[in-house]
Amino acid sequence: MRVLYSQLESPVGILHLASTERGLTAIALGESSYAWLSRFRERVFPGSELEPAGKAHERFERELSEYFAGKRRLFDLPLDIRGTDFQKQVWAAVTQVPFGRTTTYATLALLVDRPKSSRAVGGANGANPLPIVIPCHRVVGASGHLTGYGGGLPIKRWLLTHEGVLRTGAVQMGLFNRTRPSRGAPFLDTGSGQTAKTQGGERS
């Protein structure tokens, strides 16, 4: 399988993007991000090589750039999501958290009908291969404090500030507490190559 690769400069550093013919499959950010992407490719697509994407990533790069510029709150991209069924279930729940809001691991556990599995939900959230598009940065501790983030807490803090969630370094406690997906809620494709949408309102 061909795995295409490109870099995108952003306010949180260089993003490393990878895609397959189905869609965007990974975003690596933070320190050692290229090394993480290389390990992801070897684990998920053994025997493949990263090939320059050229113009094939223009749509991905444009929507991400619009997000960072404050011009986009909703991603509308084809995704190729690789993970276990449980991980995909958790990531689908994460996409329901609106732009400018946060939720907790306990709430995510309720959303996936695993109310006693907050720790496992946290592990799945941490394994998210598509940060920002699947907004795992919107998940915080039960007290509202920032918790771990694969790209590093400074990036998580920047993203939440960018979305208007952080106020003088503290998370506003306007938590998203939906206990079940509502009818017509945004969906997350789990690998069929169809377009996936993430919550947050329309493009401004």
Query: Does the annotation mark 107 as catalytic?
Result: no
Question: With contact defined as beta carbons under 8 Å apart, do 201 and 67 qualify?
Answer: no
Nearest to 54 by CA among 12, 4, 91: 4
Helices and strands, counts by H and E, the chain: 6, 10
Please tell me what DSSP assigns to residue 181: P
How far apart CA 127 and CA 122 sit, in angstroms, is: 9
Q: How far is CA 30 from CA 19, 27, 49, 51, 66, in A?
A: 19, 10, 22, 21, 20
Which one from 136, 155, 159, 171 is the annotated catalytic residue?
Answer: 136
Residues annotated as part of the active site: 136
